[in-house]
Amino acid sequence: MTKQQSISHINWFHRIDLGEGVVTPGDDDSAAKLTKLNFPEDLSGKTFLDIGAWDGFFSFEAERRGASRVLATDSFVWDGNVPGKSKEGFLAARSLLKSNVEDLHIDPLNVSPQTVGMWDVVLLAGVLYHLKHPWLLIERAASVTRELLILETATDLNLMVRPAIAIYTRGELGGDPTNMCAPNLAALKGMLSDCGFRRVEVVYNSGLAKSMLSAGMRFLKYGSTPFASIQQGRCAIHAFR
Ligand SMILES: C[S@@+](CC[C@H](N)C(=O)[O-])C[C@H]1O[C@@H](n2cnc3c(N)ncnc32)[C@H](O)[C@@H]1O
């Protein structure tokens, strides 16, 4: 069986280059996110924890960039809570890449030094806005971070100067009922500092112009009122110990 044949039945999220011209056909433009995340070029000798790994694109990329040990964790998607999606992509990609990335089924809120140990670099991308407890989640991720936490998330209420968190109860973020809340940048910085990070750097912020464009598109696609979605965006933050 060719690589192409062995992945064709899988419903992919990430686009992972498996070599020999085969790239998994996910909706997510995964490679483009590396720039937004300011993903470290060189992870030689570093240990890397991926919280919410899904198909594992960032875990495999960390391994490719020299990480000495990589742990991919997930629960929600791997446990079949998203119709048609599963852990199958991660397992297939790991096997075809002949990767040594380890895996662990664990809810992000159960991450702690006791359950997963300590990691030099921790990635928490695309997960925070799915949970009802963003501050607790940051606290959990911080508790296992030795050097650097890379946090990527949806943001909202960025016209407010004070720290604030938007709460979604009716799919107000992208029409997706699994999106529960999004903090503004001030809240994210405040929560990260509270969790003991000395330096907090925003490395990506989609900004107001992009938010206005997205608000128009969301209005056309989901009927979301632009007034509510105008401040919604994405950001990536590096938090250093
Ligand atoms: C948008 S994907 C992000 C995947 C990957 N980290 C990335 O950035 O490409 C969302 C991730 O959050 C996890 N997730 C979604 N809802 C969750 C929930 N209620 N509890 C725990 N994890 C959840 C999913 O399992 C999935 O891995």
Work out whether the CA dihedral 99, 101, 104, 107 comes out positive or negative: negative
Position 227 scores a pLDDT of 67
Choose between 60 and 213: higher pLDDT: 60
Q: Is 36 exposed, middle or buried (0-12, 13-18, 19+ CB in 10 A)?
A: middle
**Which percentage of the chain shows pLDDT scores above 70?**
98
Question: Could you tell me if residue 90 is inside a domain?
Answer: no
> Measuring from atom 27 of ligand 1, which residue has the nearest CA?
52
pLDDT level of residue 230 (50, 70, 90 thresholds): confident
Question: Could you tell me if residue 81 is inside a domain?
Answer: no
Cα 229 to Cα 157: distance, rounded to the nearest angstrom: 9
Position 175 scores a pLDDT of 81
Question: Could you tell me if residue 167 is inside a domain?
Answer: yes
Position 31 scores a pLDDT of 97
Q: Is 72 in the pocket of ligand 1 (CB under 6 A)?
A: no
**Best of 60, 105, 123, 130 to mutate for ligand 1, by most ligand atoms within 8 A of CB?**
130
Summarize pLDDT for 116-142 with one digit per residue, the tens: 999 999 999 999 999 999 999 999 999
Atom of ligand 1 nearest to the CA of 126: 3
Cα 177 to Cα 183: distance, rounded to the nearest angstrom: 17
Domain ranges, residue 195 = 107-240
- Check which CATH number belongs to the domain holding 197 and give it: 3.40.50.150
Question: Could you tell me if residue 215 is inside a domain?
Answer: yes
Cα 112 to Cα 236: distance, rounded to the nearest angstrom: 22
27 Cα to the center of ligand 1, angstroms: 15
1 Cα to the center of ligand 1, angstroms: 31
Q: Residue 42, SS3?
A: coil
Cα 188 to Cα 34: distance, rounded to the nearest angstrom: 20
Position 214 scores a pLDDT of 77
pLDDT level of residue 48 (50, 70, 90 thresholds): very high
Question: Could you tell me if residue 151 is inside a domain?
Answer: yes
Q: Is 174 in the pocket of ligand 1 (CB under 6 A)?
A: no
Cα–Cα distances in angstroms (integers) from residue 174 to residues 60, 179, 196, 198, in the given order: 28, 8, 32, 33
Question: Could you tell me if residue 213 is inside a domain?
Answer: yes
192 Cα to the center of ligand 1, angstroms: 20
Position 185 scores a pLDDT of 96
Position 154 scores a pLDDT of 96
Question: Could you tell me if residue 186 is inside a domain?
Answer: yes
Mean pLDDT of 200-212: 88
Atom of ligand 1 nearest to the CA of 77: 25
* Whether 71 contacts 48, CB under 8 Å: yes
In total, how many domains does the chain have? 1
Question: Could you tell me if residue 16 is inside a domain?
Answer: no
Summarize pLDDT for 54-102 with one digit per residue, the tens: 999 999 999 999 999 999 999 999 999 999 999 999 999 999 999 999 9
Q: Is 147 in the pocket of ligand 1 (CB under 6 A)?
A: no
pLDDT level of residue 168 (50, 70, 90 thresholds): very high
